[in-house]
Structure 1
Amino acid sequence: MAINLTVILKSKPENTAAVKSLLLELVEKSTQEAACKQYDLHQNCDDANTFIFHEIWENQNGLDSHNQQSYIQSFFEKAKTLLQETPIVFRTDKLA
């Protein structure tokens, strides 16, 4: 069963460019994973510090594997000082 996620990250204003660069690297690497069906990154037009991922993973095992990747672990370690707050993760069911 597919796993649908929306993840919202808010960078500190002084770190927006650095966070954007790191997130683009995540896109490049994550989309190479076999279980990754979608990994889209958006930036809020009204608040450049807000980034939004729309992700679809083939299944829970694929998502679990993704979360264990060294580049994901590295990002979250760096994010502790770059982000305003802990990322918000919504797991959703597609209705239409």
Structure 2
Amino acid sequence: MSIQIVVVFDVVPERFDMAVDAFGELARRTSEEPGALRFDAYVSAEKANTVVLVEEWADQNAIDLHMKEDCVRDFLAKVDGAFRGEPAVHRLSSIDA
């Protein structure tokens, strides 16, 4: 069974446009990785300065490999200091599971 994750980021308003660009690049690069079944970045229509990642991974190994990729290091360097607090990470379990 695949792994579903939703991550919510509260972005500092003055860094929002830059962060959105960085998230878009991260999503494009990540979607090409083996084991990345879905990696989509969204801007919240309900809450200002909020970015949401919706991810689906083949397995934990795919996540572990992703976290070591250059695209993750590049992303983290670009968005350093752009978030208010830690992102809210939600690893999901199906109700029907």
TM-score for the superposition, normalised by structure 2: 0.89
Give ranges in structure 2 of 5+ residues lacking alignment.
none
Which protein has the bigger helix share? 1
Question: Once the two structures are aligned, what percentage of the paired residues are identical?
Answer: 24
User: Is structure 2 residue 18 aligned with structure 1 residue 18?
Assistant: yes
After superposition, the CA RMSD in angstroms is 1.4
C-alpha offsets along residues 50-84 of structure 1, whole Å, 9 cap, x if unaligned? 01111000000001001111111232233331111
User: Is structure 2 residue 66 aligned with structure 1 residue 37?
Assistant: no
1:1-96 alignment to 2 at 5 Å?
A: 1-95=1-95
Q: Distance in 1 between matches of 2:88 and 2:22?
A: 17
Q: How many residues align?
A: 96
Give ranges in structure 1 of 5+ residues lacking alignment.
none
Matched residue type, 2:16: T
Cα deviation, residue 2, structure 1: 1.1
Alpha carbons 2:22, 2:79 under 8 Å: kept: no
